[in-house]
């Protein structure tokens, strides 16, 4: 049976107006070109509800009972990695047959949606305490201090790689809860290794590391690229350098080199790439590089350099402006 076209609000109101001046349902129908039954239905609705507006419809009954909703919500709250198939089977054993889309819609109404699990470092208690200490010590630092930091890191980029993902059910702003993340170890593989830096004023230098990096090579990279980046970015006097606790960075010779050069540096908590905003730039750059589909190592390196240079200064500025949120997140998630 074909679905009938819904009457406009003006037409419905006109029916009521004609009824109020004494016209019959048949006369109204002939005048407006409508069936008598349609006119009668509009008039009855107006008499009953004092409106011709569409009333809320009850719709089809929910396939999952309130008790079933509580059950699957409790299940994914305990184990966010539960799949829709698992939940379909759980409900089927309880006597309710539903589809996977029904599971998704039901959980979405509970404020839960399926998201890719964030990859975060595997944290030991000592790491947790160090992260909390760092966050609490710097939570009230003024924005100007963070704007005077040069952030740095190394990363590997694959030529044809695609990292696997795992989906979890979570609420908004819960992406860093331990149950919703995947522990990782640093540098899972790739074809070229890069060192780069940036500040709130924009991207600094990006270079390819062609050999296995050791302490001497790292100090050479800093010697050739750190100060030129600081000058290009017009850093204020007393700027601070950030790098993580990789052994090459914390080696006695590297610390001595930094001291002789009079470079200030942040005391950094181990296993904390999420506290380094350069990770956002790496992630965005990798997406853009993959979209250009480089076909060989030479093209991969060229495209990486091009995409890094395209990063707007405003993106860098916003990453640093919101740094306090990262520290707040560490404290909120207790590490």
- For residue 297, the cross-strand partners are none
Strands 118-121 and 181-184: parallel
pLDDT value for 58: 65
CATH assignment of the domain containing 287: 3.30.420.10
Is residue 56 in a domain?
A: no
Is residue 54 in a domain?
A: no
Residues 275, 278, 284, 286, CA torsion sign: negative
Is residue 55 in a domain?
A: no
Q: What is the DSSP letter of 268?
A: P
pLDDT value for 298: 92
216 near 250, Cβ under 8 Å? Answer: no
Residues in the chain: 335
Closest listed residue to residue 130, CA positions, set 218, 263, 282, 244 = 244
Q: How many CB atoms lie within 10 A of CB 47?
A: 10
DSSP run (H or E) holding 207: strand 202-209
Let me know whether 135 and 278 are in one domain. Answer: yes
Distance CA 230, CA 198 (A): 9
Let me know whether 301 and 167 are in one domain. Answer: yes
272 near 134, Cβ under 8 Å? Answer: yes
* pTM, full prediction: 0.64
| Full residue range of the structural domain in which residue 132 is found | 125-333
320 near 199, Cβ under 8 Å? Answer: yes
Let me know whether 192 and 292 are in one domain. Answer: yes
pLDDT value for 185: 42
242 near 320, Cβ under 8 Å? Answer: no
Q: Torsions phi, psi of 185, nearest 5?
A: -110, 160
Let me know whether 188 and 224 are in one domain. Answer: yes
pLDDT digits (tens, 9 = 90+) for 269-278: 999 999 999 9
Is residue 99 in a domain?
A: yes
pLDDT value for 264: 94
10-residue mean pLDDT series, the chain (335 residues): 71 91 92 91 89 75 90 92 92 91 93 83 88 95 96 90 61 78 51 95 96 93 96 96 95 94 93 94 92 90 96 96 94 89
Is residue 118 in a domain?
A: no
Is residue 115 in a domain?
A: no
Let me know whether 276 and 131 are in one domain. Answer: yes
pLDDT value for 91: 92
Is residue 57 in a domain?
A: no
Spell out a b/e string for 231-263, using b for 16 or more CB atoms within 10 Å of the CB, else e. Answer: eebebeeebbbbbbebebbebeebeebbeeeeb
Let me know whether 15 and 87 are in one domain. Answer: no
pLDDT value for 162: 46
301 near 208, Cβ under 8 Å? Answer: yes
pLDDT value for 181: 77
pLDDT value for 186: 47
Residues 210, 252, 264, 283, CA torsion sign: positive
Let me know whether 26 and 94 are in one domain. Answer: no
């Amino acid at each position: 049976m074909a679905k009938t076209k819904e009457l406009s609000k003006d037409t419905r109101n006109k029916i009521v107006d004609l009824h109020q001046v004494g016209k019959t349902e048949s006369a109204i129908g002939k005048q407006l070109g409508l069936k008598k039954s349609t006119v009668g239905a509009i008039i009855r609705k107006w008499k009953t509800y004092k409106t011709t507006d569409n009333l809320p419809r009850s719709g089809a009954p929910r396939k999952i009972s309130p008790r079933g909703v509580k059950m699957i919500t409790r299940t994914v709250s305990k184990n966010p990695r539960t799949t829709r198939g698992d939940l379909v089977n759980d409900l089927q054993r309880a006597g309710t047959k539903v589809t996977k889309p029904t599971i998704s819609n039901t959980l979405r109404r509970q404020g839960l949606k399926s998201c890719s699990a964030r990859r975060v470092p595997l944290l030991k208690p000592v790491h947790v305490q160090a992260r909390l200490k760092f966050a609490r010590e710097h939570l009230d630092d003024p924005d100007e201090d963070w704007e005077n930091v040069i952030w740095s890191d190394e990363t590997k980029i694959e030529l044809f790689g695609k990292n696997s993902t795992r989906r979890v059910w979570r609420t908004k702003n819960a992406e860093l809860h331990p149950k919703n993340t995947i522990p990782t170890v640093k540098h899972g593989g790739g074809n070229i290794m890069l060192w780069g830096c940036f500040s709130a004023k924009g991207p600094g230098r990006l270079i390819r590391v062609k050999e296995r990096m050791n302490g001497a090579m790292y100090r050479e990279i800093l010697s050739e690229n750190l100060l030129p980046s600081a000058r290009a970015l017009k850093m204020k006097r007393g700027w601070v350098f950030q790098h993580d606790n990789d052994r090459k960075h914390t080696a006695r010779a590297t610390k001595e080199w930094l001291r002789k050069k009079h470079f200030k540096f942040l005391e950094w908590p181990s296993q904390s790439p999420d506290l380094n905003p350069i990770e956002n730039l790496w992630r965005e750059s990798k997406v853009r590089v993959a979209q250009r589909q480089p076909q060989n190592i030479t093209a991969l390196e060229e495209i990486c350099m091009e995409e890094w240079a395209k990063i707007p200064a405003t993106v860098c500025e916003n990453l640093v402006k919101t740094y306090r949120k990262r520290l707040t997140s560490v404290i909120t998630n207790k590490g």
